[in-house]
Structure 1
């Protein structure tokens, strides 16, 4: 595996209202929904940490996904790129 001098930053979007999740039959927050014994957000963060890449959680409650992505990119403007 090649080491990157300035790796991309992983952006974890965690500010949605979960409307599609509820519409599909889920209840509560999809980020707190259990996945193999842990909440989805915890599983996601475990994977992000294990990647060794820099990361940022965007959970400010923006009105839309585009707004969340834009805020996260602004917050990590020194990144060489982003993985969302």
Structure 2
């Protein structure tokens, strides 16, 4: 069974540079009744009924507490890059059959998005959602890519592992929308 790897280990630098206050992932999302960004993302992942593992920083106390509240596994590290976070998460879930890599600042991802990737991974080794030819998330990798994912270490995330045979599935605009900036 595939699992969702929620990457919540960023430093929120663009968010703060744009005037955001506090922890980006706990900022209210007004288009979602003012609920915290991470809560929206986490609730959707939970609704998918797929296994979830969270990668976050030691100072993200609220995220660590939410993981505990929902009895979810978490990797805590002072990550220097998206690649390092992905590698740590894959190593922590080494026994999974495949991984749906999902940045934790994308509240428009749906349960259907997760299920489409999980279903496609039954016949493909890499799957990614897109919108108007723009690559989006989640990105799915089968067990075949486990060792390569475990070696990631730079800010390019899993881009260096993407193969020409990657299956792109057309989706909706939400698969390319992240929340790097505070809502006005």
What TM-score does the superposition give when structure 2 sets the normalisation length?
A: 0.40
Instruction: Point out where structure 2 has 5 or more consecutive residues left out of the alignment.
Output: 57-75, 102-184
Tell me, what secondary structure is at the counterpart of 2:54? strand
Instruction: Point out where structure 1 has 5 or more consecutive residues left out of the alignment.
Output: 1-5
| Greater strand share, structure number | 2
Structure 1 position 30, deviation (Å) = 1.2
> CA RMSD, aligned part only?
1.2
What is the distance in 2 between the residues matched to 1:77 and 1:9? 11
State which of 6, 16, 24 in structure 2 corresponds to 1:22: 16
Which is greater in Rg? 2
What is the distance in 2 between the residues matched to 1:25 and 1:80? 41
The answer to which structure, 1 or 2, has the higher relative contact order (CA under 8 A, 6+ apart) is: 1
Structure 1 position 24, deviation (Å) = 3.1
1:1-84 aligned within 5 A: 6=1, 8-35=2-29, 36=32, 37-59=34-56, 60=76, 61-84=78-101
What is the distance in 2 between the residues matched to 1:17 and 1:64? 9
Say which is worse superposed, 65-74 or 35-44, in terms of deviation.
Answer: 35-44
Structure 1 position 10, deviation (Å) = 0.3
Count of residues in Structure 1 that have an aligned counterpart in Structure 2: 78
